[in-house]
């Protein structure tokens, strides 16, 4: 058993990026829920089990981070002002919004409660982050990476549950904000990638986050307009192209050491999987059917691998350690 002296440093180094794990688990749950619905296959208790596991992981992570805030307030404040770590705080509100989507078909009242909490928290965090971007004194180009998309991605998730719950105007508002910052950040991130020094190895998996805004935006847009129009095709095809670009770089990603940032693979992969299933649902295209199946299987394997590697890292005490 560890002594109190040994526990304190580990809690002190508990990373806010851990909440990307909840986003990945939520994405897997929603993707499997959609896949089972389209295939008319029933696997008893699978979705309920995944929902409970995801909610349990979220609760445990939130309780741990709150304990960190109480015991090491100055460290949390420092992370809230950090140019990279700052962008992972909205992963908490995004997790609430994603769980609201996952609970839609299970219990609408729970879904609405989660959605309202997520919307409130995410708007507050988005306003804080945007103000930090506009009036910073310490951000530099090398700090920029695709994790900066996380606050923007959360906004485009809002309509996915918001429209079925009847919050039409709020859904349009958040979708518009998300699309605005996707356009802004996409240009800046590619400028950083093309004309400045390569990203640190630890942050390379965050390149997969590039897939999420157009893929989630497409899903949200189809909820808003009820069909796939020209703009819907643009969003989906942009997400699909970015997926292809990153899949051609798999040898590079396979050489990376395991970091918590590997969880950045999971939610974007879930997003393009769900988007492809929506395309199949609306068009009936055989290509989208096979693509969806391939992506969902890949998602299951990736999340399984991430869970194993994360558990190994926790047991081996390679997480919650000081950064070098």
Question: Which residue has better confidence, 174 or 323?
Answer: 174
The tokens of 229 are what?
A: 């129009």
Short-list 302, 280, 301, 300, CA closest to 291:
280
pLDDT tens digits, 162-188: 999 999 999 999 999 999 999 999 998
Pairwise CA distance, residues 111 & 101, whole Å: 7
Pairwise CA distance, residues 168 & 171, whole Å: 5
The tokens of 252 are what?
A: 């590079």
pLDDT at 74 over 70: yes
* Residue 279 falls inside a structural domain: yes
Identify the burial level of 293 via C-beta atoms within 10 angstroms of its C-beta, where 0-12 means exposed, 13-18 middle and 19 or more buried: middle
* Residue 323 falls inside a structural domain: no
pLDDT of 141: 75
The tokens of 141 are what?
A: 């180009």
Pairwise CA distance, residues 223 & 159, whole Å: 7
Give the number of other CB atoms < 10 A from CB of residue 9: 12
pLDDT of 9: 67
Instruction: Give start and end residues of each alpha helix (H) in the chain.
Output: 4-12, 20-39, 46-71, 73-80, 90-102, 108-134, 150-162, 168-195, 212-225, 230-247, 250-254, 266-283, 286-315
* Residue 320 falls inside a structural domain: no
pLDDT of 86: 84
pLDDT of 6: 44
Pairwise CA distance, residues 60 & 228, whole Å: 39
The tokens of 273 are what?
A: 């999987």
Number of domains making up the chain: 1
The DSSP code for 261 is G
Predicted model pTM? 0.91
pLDDT tens digits, 55-69: 999 999 999 999 999
pLDDT of 324: 57
Short-list 15, 121, 130, CA closest to 75:
15
Rg of the Cα atoms in the chain: 19
- Domain boundaries, position 45: 4-315
pLDDT of 305: 95
Q: Which positions ≥6 away from 278 have C-beta within 8 Å? A: 34, 218, 219, 222, 228
Which CATH number belongs to the domain containing residue 96 in this structure?
A: 1.50.10.150
Output phi, psi for 314, to 5 deg. Answer: -65, -45
Q: Residue 220's pLDDT band (boundaries 50, 70, 90)? A: very high
Helix 108-134 to helix 168-195 angle (10° resolution) is 40
Q: Is 67 helix (H, G, I), strand (E, B) or coil?
A: helix
* Residue 305 falls inside a structural domain: yes
Residues 267, 242, 240: CA angle, nearest 5 degrees: 80
* Residue 321 falls inside a structural domain: no
Contact 231, 222 (CB under 8 A): no
pLDDT tens digits, 102-157: 999 888 999 999 999 999 999 999 998 888 888 766 677 777 788 888 887 789 99
Pairwise CA distance, residues 276 & 283, whole Å: 10
Pairwise CA distance, residues 208 & 147, whole Å: 9
Pairwise CA distance, residues 209 & 91, whole Å: 12
The tokens of 259 are what?
A: 């970091």
The DSSP code for 198 is P
* Residue 73 falls inside a structural domain: yes
* Residue 324 falls inside a structural domain: no
* Residue 155 falls inside a structural domain: yes
């Amino acid at each position: 058993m560890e002594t109190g002296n040994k526990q304190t440093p580990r809690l002190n180094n508990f990373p806010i990026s851990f909440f990307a794990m909840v986003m990945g688990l939520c994405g897997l749950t929603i993707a499997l829920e959609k896949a089972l619905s389209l295939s008319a296959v029933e696997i008893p208790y699978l979705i309920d089990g995944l929902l409970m596991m995801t909610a349990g992981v979220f609760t445990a992570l939130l309780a741990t981070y709150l304990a960190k805030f109480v015991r090491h307030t100055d460290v949390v404040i420092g992370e809230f002002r950090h140019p990279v770590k700052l962008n992972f705080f909205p992963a908490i509100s995004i997790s609430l919004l994603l769980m609201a989507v996952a609970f839609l078909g299970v219990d609408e009242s729970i879904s609405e409660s989660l959605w309202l909490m997520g919307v409130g928290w995410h708007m507050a965090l988005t306003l804080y982050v945007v103000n930090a971007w506009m009036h910073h004194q310490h951000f530099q180009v090398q700090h920029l990476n695709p994790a900066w998309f996380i606050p923007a991605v959360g906004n485009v998730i809002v309509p996915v549950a918001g429209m079925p719950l009847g919050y039409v105007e709020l859904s349009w508002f958040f979708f518009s904000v998300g699309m605005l910052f996707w356009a802004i950040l996409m240009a800046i991130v590619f400028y950083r990638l093309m004309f400045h020094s390569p990203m640190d190895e630890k942050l390379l998996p965050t390149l997969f986050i590039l897939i999420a805004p157009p893929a989630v935006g497409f899903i949200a847009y189809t909820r808003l307009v009820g069909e796939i129009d020209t703009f819907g095709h643009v969003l989906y095809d942009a997400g699909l192209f970015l997926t292809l670009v990153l899949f051609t770089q798999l040898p590079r990603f396979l050489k990376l050491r395991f970091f918590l940032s590997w969880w950045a693979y999971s939610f974007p992969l879930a997003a393009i999987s769900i988007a492809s299933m929506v395309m199949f649902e609306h068009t009936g295209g055989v290509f989208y059917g096979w693509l969806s199946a391939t992506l969902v299987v890949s998602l299951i394997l990736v999340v399984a691998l991430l869970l194993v590697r994360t558990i190994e890292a926790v047991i081996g005490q390679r997480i919650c350690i000081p950064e070098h």
